Structure 1
Amino acid sequence: MNRLSLLISLFLCLAPLSIMGQDTVKRHVLQEVQVSSQSAPSETYTSTPTQVVTVEKMEQTGAVQLSDAVKQMNGVTIKDYGGVGGIKTMSARGLGSQFSSLIIDGVAVNDCQNGQIDLGRYLLGNSAYVSFSNAQHDAPLQSARAFAAGNVVMMETQCPSFREGRPFNLKVGMEGGSFHLYSPTLSWEHRITKKLSYSLWGNYITSKGNYPFTLYYTTSQQDSSSRERRENSKMWMATADANIFYDINPRHKITAKAHYMQSRHELPGPVIYYSTKNSEHSEDRLFFAQTKYSYTGSRVKAQAIVKYQLTDDLYEDTATASRTLNTYRQQEAYASGTVVYRPVEGLKLSLATDGAYNTLVSNLAKNNHVERVSSLTVLAVAYDNSWLSVSANGLATVAEEWTSSQLRQSYRRISPYVGFNVKPFRKVGLRLRYFFKENYRIPNFNEMYYYSITRELKPEKAMQHNVGVTWVMPRMKSRNEKVESRLQLVADAYYNRVSDKLIAIPVQNMFLWSMINLGRVDIWGVDAKADVDIAFSLCTLNIGGSYAYQNATDRTDPVSKTYGHQIPYTPRHSGGASLYVETPWVDFGYTAMMVGSRYYRQQNTEDTRLKPYCDQGLTLAHTFEFRNGSKLKLKGQVLNLFDVQYEIVRSYPMMGRNYRVSAVFEL
């Protein structure tokens, strides 16, 4: 703990220097629940459960990757193969990672090869907020893909804001951490005219990832063991992001984004008794360019989107005499249009339609060229006033795909949604909500044509029911108005039924998967969270807590040995706690994430059980403000505070206690 003590001492010594001459009795004021610089979704006014991580909370928790923000969401399960470069995917309420969609600036990111998004590929450095919604984002003006999702993660790029007389912003940052982690960042924002501005953002991250762990030679972990280091874990990733913001006039707006990511990851492989070495690696390149036009009128709102995406993936294993090298290139051309019409006050009618053309080319012997043409169309109606919000929509899915081996598949489906949010009492901040949604998920190319080469694989069909309650306590002030507090409570109960559920089980390594249809899975659960904000004259205090219960069991065949067993990698109990204190001298943050026992196979036995764990972290930060308006932000973190060894995926030990420090200069 010597390094932690040194870090605390450094902050306590330096912090007072920046506040000399400042007003140390300035009063902290709580922000409104719905206030955000870019209209982040509400957590209480929607019919679908929604959670938001703002840029302020990202800084408090030291979140770097998208997975760091998503794992703060209650009821979300993260699959993490360890280290900075490990693959990170998510699932929620037992639906699986392929049901979750990532939407960046209103445009969906697609992966037709494996259908799941690696959250470790996306960084938060220029994000305004990240939100997560079960079922769908509760808004009529969105793409048909957003309507089609089972769960939605939204990232919004920070729009530039400029000080008077200065048409530019410059930000330079450097982060370092344990096991040779280095990550420089550069950000530039420029206002060309009052209507036109752009931003450039770049990051490079590298790590050896050779963290220590204890290797146990028996499943009981009570007998012999040895101290080892993770091998074949080096990684690097470079990311560049360019954005254009053009406000033609108050009604017309155009935004454009170009994004490029390139990385190389050594794949450490599973730790199995005396085998800790591996010789595999992957290389990835991702590029997409997208443009969105939006129109806002008194009765009509509309948006149009065009996008091109290119993804190259390479997998290589040099262990065997016959070297294994697999390459994949997927491309997508995508267009979307949405129109919302308001005939009378409170009533909105909308039509959204998407079209996409996808190709996947590989060097595999069979089905090395796969193509898909798909169309999604949504008709939606919504009504809202001060105490009631009701919405319903129908989604039509049409898709055709074919391969170089003359295999053809066709898909057709209509899927409904209905939801409402009601405030029964005028003067009480209590709201009730409900939604029902049906989802239809087409198998991705990996599932259908590669490692599970079968034409019997069926699309997943999911039905979601949710009933919930939210309560926001009105602001309370002390008699002398020096203390202000607010309380928010959210609780939801849900039932999901998945037919022909597709389960991905890793085989050999984290790059290769095998797929099976389970038949039917029933998921019952409860999500609950509470947040308390208290503002004093010298500091603000935020306390949060969450709990999730999830019973996701196989209900396919009553005579099967796995009937009634929890599906793999789904904890029944999970939760979290957080404490953030902001003062003029130092900002302090504490987080804890608790995950109960899980099973890594379909059959639940003591041998297939993964132990529960609690991952805790500390953050210390301070911002030095200078007279010319520039800032210097210093931050230090201790992750996995008590050096707990645990596994999220079987035989992939996670990183123990590690440290990170960062400095960001803003001009």
Structure 2
Amino acid sequence: MYLYVWAMLLFMPLVLCAQQRADTTRTHQLPEIVISERYQTREVMATAPVQTFGKEKLSSLGVLQVSDAVKHFAGVTVKDYGGIGGLKTVSLRSLGAEHTAVSYDGVTLNDTQTGQVDIGRFSLDNVDKLTLSNGQSDQIFQSARMFASAGVLNIQTLTPQFEKEKRTNLSTSLKSGSWGLLNPSLLLEQQIGEKWALALNAEWMQADGQYPYTMHYGGEKDSTSREKRKNTEVRTLRAEAGLFGNFSDTQQWRLKVYYYQASRGLPGATTLYYDYASQHLWDKNIFAQSQYKKEFSRKWVFQSSAKWSWNYQRYLDPDYKSSTGKTENRYYQQEYYLSAALLYRALNNLSFALSSDGSIQTLNANQPSFAEPDRYSWLTAVAGKYVNEWITASASLLATVVNERTKDDANAANYRRLTPYASVSVKPFATEELRIRAFYKNIFRLPTFNDLYYNEVGNNTLSPEKITQYNLGLAYAREINGFVPYVSLTVDAYCNKVEDKIMAIPTKNIFVWSMVNLGEVEIKGLDATATITLQPWKDIRLSLSGNYTYQRALDVTDPDGKTYNQQIAYTPRVSGSGQMSLEMPWINLSYSFVHAGKRYVLGQNLPENRLNSYTDHSIAANRDFRIKKLKTNLRVEVLNLLDENYEIVRNFPMPGRSVRATFKVIY
């Protein structure tokens, strides 16, 4: 029944559009539901902080995966366990990865088992732009699920665009580098008639990952040895197919099918003289999603989405048997998701939106006593937005209804909640593009299936984590002259309060833990970003950008506790990044760095729990060549230029200096 309903909504636009008269006079590009002005201007005009990396910016950063690019956003902490195949999760303003939604072409990805999306599995090969929104974006015409988190990372893939009388685009690339990296990819775009376009994209990546690192043994005289990471091989395959229907200026439809599989060794922690690891992880992920948009008139616009996803994970630890006698665990997740939204433009500068989402999430495992939970969610959001030359204001109210069931009826309680959001941006001076902005948001995240039902650990009486967000900031942008085409600056002060934080504590022994609502965290910080573009000559352009974050994320749970008023684990007080790109007719050069201050691996900020600060520098050079009708590009990068030996997570050393080369051909 689930598959029948999903399939009907997935392909309904084909039925609706089949009898429409073909418009053969021109080709329509699929418009996104975003403001069409350039990214930097949108960032300045936004009522809440938003950061965007377009395709050119991503290229200048010299990054391989989405996780590498996200490290350059302000206020972001990426937990990275090292290497290409290591798990990578994103936390926004120290709220935890579970509070950051990850969206793929406007439809959110979901992992109900852990609440965390591994952004290391997404390549940048077919990404058009990355957008990170704090609170929520000013786009009120979106699915209800996009309102339901403390922040959103949106991955927007390429939409086919064709030059005049050209119906096929083809590009292929090959990346190769240190530690056995081999990464070929292919992108094919084909125009089919006047209304349709097809995009196919696939890539394979493999690496042995056996990079060297320095192991410290401690003692009165710190002794070291040079070792190599073990059990680090990774093999991944990603394939995507997209079908784009551009029926008219007022009606569009797209269908995307995505497949990903990975096989990777888990290198484990490097402690004392022990670096043995034998664990292995296999992942498979398939999803199909459909999006349809129809403008009935200037005032009314309708949008719908449907998605089905299936996730498989197999974890093998041949050296350990669980209480069920198994050395491996297998998990199967499925999700059925439907969304509909309606936009009403009441006046030229006033609009309202209503959106409603329904989803069913299931989880099964190869454990005889597993709870086999199902989660039924219904989200409804109503939002309004007012815009004129001087002010932008938006507000929304989200209603959440969640019901759960398990095979033994030992499920968590059903949940109902209303959560508000409000934001405003004011332009005080007519002659300057200076904006004062502020937002308030109250939101929560439900316990994950692991929190609730994991064997010997789960607690089905957990309450959701609740968050209150406040933000006050300034944004400024200006085009000065031909020499300085563009300057922008943003500064935002924020305060986040977390209640009923879900934490794991030991119970009868150190091997059996339990999940409880124990923690309260208060996070105060400052994010600053700056961008300047210089053009000293016609064909030479220099772009400089950077960001800085200062935050105090303090545990305020128990005044008598050992961690009271101390920085929470893995949260640096100071972090930042910088980028420089120099575009010249004969070569393009770029430089980037990422910095994180000292952090603590536990809530007690003791010297023995401290991780040192680090700065990772990278440089790159690339040049375009034209061979008849073929456009080619050769890019060479040096990563971690200073060969710094550092850790983001304790005892998981990051790679040292490495070299990577990319050759790309475009037809």
Same fold, judged at TM 0.5 (above): yes
1:340 maps to amino acid: L
Structure 1 ranges of 4+ moved more than 3 A: 34-41, 320-323, 503-506, 512-518
Q: 2:446 aligns with which of 442, 445, 451?
A: 442
2:267·2:279 contact (CA, 8 Å) conserved in 1?
yes
Deviates more, 1:153-162 or 1:276-285: 153-162
Match of 2:469 in 1: 464
Q: Is the Cα contact below 8 Å between 1:80 and 1:649 reproduced in 2?
A: yes
- For residue 521 of structure 1, what is the amino acid of its counterpart? V
- Counterparts of 2:500 and 2:82 in 1: how far apart (Å)? 30
- Report the counterpart of residue 590 of structure 1 in structure 2: 591
Following superposition, the deviation at residue 39 of structure 1 comes to 7.5
SS of aligned partner of 2:451: helix
Change (3 A) 1:558 1:320: closer
| Equivalent in the alignment of 1:386 | 389
Q: Name the counterpart of 1:375.
A: 378
The reply on whether 1:353 has 2:356 as its aligned counterpart is yes
Structure 1 residues 545-564: aligned runs within 5 Å: 545-564=546-565
Q: Which amino acid aligns with 1:525?
A: G
1:19-38 equivalences in 2 (<5 Å): none
Question: Does the Cα contact within 8 Å between 1:294 and 1:302 map onto a contact in 2?
Answer: yes
For residue 224 of structure 2, what is the aligned residue in structure 1?
225
The Cα offsets for residues 200-231 of structure 1, whole Å up to 9 and x where unpaired, read as 000000000000011111178x5211111000
Q: 2:165 maps to which residue?
A: 165
> Could you give the per-residue CA deviations for residues 345-382 of structure 1, whole angstroms, max 9, x where no partner exists?
21111111100001000112433411010111101111
CA distance in 1: counterparts of 2:402 and 2:46, whole angstroms: 31
Over 3 Å counting, the alpha-carbon distance change for 1:175 and 1:503 in structure 2 is: farther
1:565 is aligned with what amino acid? Q
**1:300-334 CA-partner distances (Å, limit 9, x unpaired):** 12210010000000100112476511000000000
Structural RMSD (CA): 1.9
How far off is 1:484 after superposition?
4.1
| Structure 2 match to 1:4 | none
Match of 1:45 in 2: 45
Distance 2:513 2:107 in 1: 28
Offset of residue 38 of structure 1: 9.4
SS of match in other structure, 1:522: strand
1:485 Cα deviation from its structure 2 partner = 2.8
Looking at structure 2, the residues matched to 384 and 533 of structure 1 have their Cα atoms a distance apart, in angstroms, of 28
Residue number in structure 2 paired with 1:148: 148
Deviation at 1:35, TM superposition (A): 8.9
Task: Specify the SS of the correspondent of 1:43.
Answer: helix
Distance 1:84 1:515, change over 3 A: farther
1:277 alignment partner, SS class: coil
Matches of 1:56 and 1:176 in 2, distance apart? 21
Q: Is the 8 A contact 1:554 1:564 kept in 2?
A: yes
The answer to whether structure 1 residue 494 and structure 2 residue 499 are counterparts is no
Letter in 2 for 1:551: R
SS at match of 2:60: helix
Contact 2:521–2:557 (CA under 8 A) maintained in structure 1: yes
Quick check: 1:41–1:52 contact (8 Å CA) kept in 2?
Answer: no
Maintained 8 Å contact 1:317/1:323:
no
- Matched with 1:89 is 89
Q: What secondary structure, in the 3-state scheme, does the structure 2 residue paired with 1:343 have?
A: strand
Task: Please list, as runs of the form range in 1=range in 2, the aligned pairs for 1:515-554 lying within 5 A after superposition.
Answer: 515-535=515-535, 536-554=537-555
1:172-571 equivalences in 2 (<5 Å): 172-218=172-218, 222-296=221-295, 297-320=297-320, 324-409=327-412, 410-450=414-454, 452-477=457-482, 483-503=483-503, 515-535=515-535, 536-571=537-572
Kindly state the Cα deviation for residue 431 of structure 1 after the two structures are TM-superposed: 0.5
Q: Is the 8 A contact 1:346 1:383 kept in 2?
A: yes
Q: Secondary structure of the equivalent of 1:416?
A: strand
- 8 A Cα contact 2:411 2:460, kept in partner: no
Q: Retained in 2: the 8 A contact 1:471–1:488?
A: yes
Query: What residue identity is the alignment partner of 2:363?
Result: L
Change (3 A) 1:618 1:515: farther
Distance 1:640 1:602, change over 3 A: same
Secondary structure of the corresponding residue to residue 243 of structure 2? strand
Q: Is the 8 A contact 2:484 2:532 kept in 1?
A: no
- Partner residue, 2:577: 576
2:135 is aligned with what amino acid? A
| Aligned twin of 1:649 | 649
Q: Which amino acid aligns with 1:440?
A: F
CA contact (8 A) 1:634 1:662 kept: yes
TM-score by length of 2: 0.91
SS at match of 1:242: strand
> Does the CA-based 8 Å contact 1:203-1:239 persist in structure 2?
yes
In the superposition, relative to structure 1, how do residues 448 and 314 fare at CA in structure 2: closer, same or farther (>3 Å)?
same
1:64 paired residue number:
64
Partner-residue secondary structure (3-state), 1:78: strand
Taking a change above 3 Å as real, the CA distance of residues 323 and 372 of structure 1, as seen in their structure-2 partners, is: closer
Residue 29 of structure 1 corresponds to none
1:445-497 residue CA offsets vs partner (Å, 9 max, x unmatched): 011110532234221000000001000022313xxxxx343210010000000
Separation of aligned partners in 2, 1:484 and 1:46 = 23
- Cα distance between partner residues in 1 of 2:43 and 2:504: 31
How many percent of aligned residue pairs carry the same amino acid? Answer: 38
Residue type matched to 1:557 in 2? D
User: 1:330, 1:361 within 8 Å by CA — same for their partners in 2?
Assistant: yes
- In structure 2, C-alpha distance between the alignment counterparts of 1:390 and 1:513, rounded to whole Å: 46
**Structure 2 unmatched runs, 5+:** 1-33, 507-511
Equivalent AA in structure 1 for residue 579 of structure 2: S
1:120-175: CA deviation from partner (whole Å, max 9, x where unpaired): 11111111101000111221110001011211011112111112222001111100
How far off its partner does 1:405 sit? 2.8
* Structure 1 gap segments, 5+ residues each: 1-33, 478-482, 507-511
Return the letter of the residue paired with 2:541: T
What letter corresponds to residue 172 of structure 2 in structure 1?
V
* C-alpha distance in 2 between matches for 1:254 and 1:283: 34
- Contact 2:72/2:578 (<8 A) preserved: no
Q: Is the 8 A contact 2:458 2:514 kept in 1?
A: no
Q: 1:525 to 1:572 in 2, by over 3 A?
A: same
Shift in CA distance, 37/486, structure 1 to aligned 2, threshold 3 Å: closer
Alpha-carbon distance change, 472 to 41 in structure 1, aligned in 2, over 3 angstroms: closer
Q: Is the 8 A contact 1:413 1:440 kept in 2?
A: no
Q: Does 1:115 align with 2:84?
A: no
- Change in 2 beyond 3 A, CA 1:219/1:408: farther
Equivalent-residue separation in structure 2 for 1:586 and 1:165 (angstroms): 31
2:39–2:52 Cα contact (<8 Å) kept: no
Secondary structure at the aligned position of 2:120 is classed as helix
The two structures have a TM-score, normalised by structure 1, of 0.91
Per-residue displacement from partner, 1:514-554 (whole Å, max 9, x unpaired)?
Answer: 75534210000000011110122231101112110110011
- Residue 150 of structure 2 contacts residue 443 of structure 2 at CA under 8 Å; is this kept in 1? yes
CA displacement 1:388-433 (0-9 Å, x = unmatched): 1111111111101122232122111110000011111111110010
Code of the residue aligned with 1:55 in structure 2: it is K
CA distance in 2, matches of 1:66, 1:520: 31
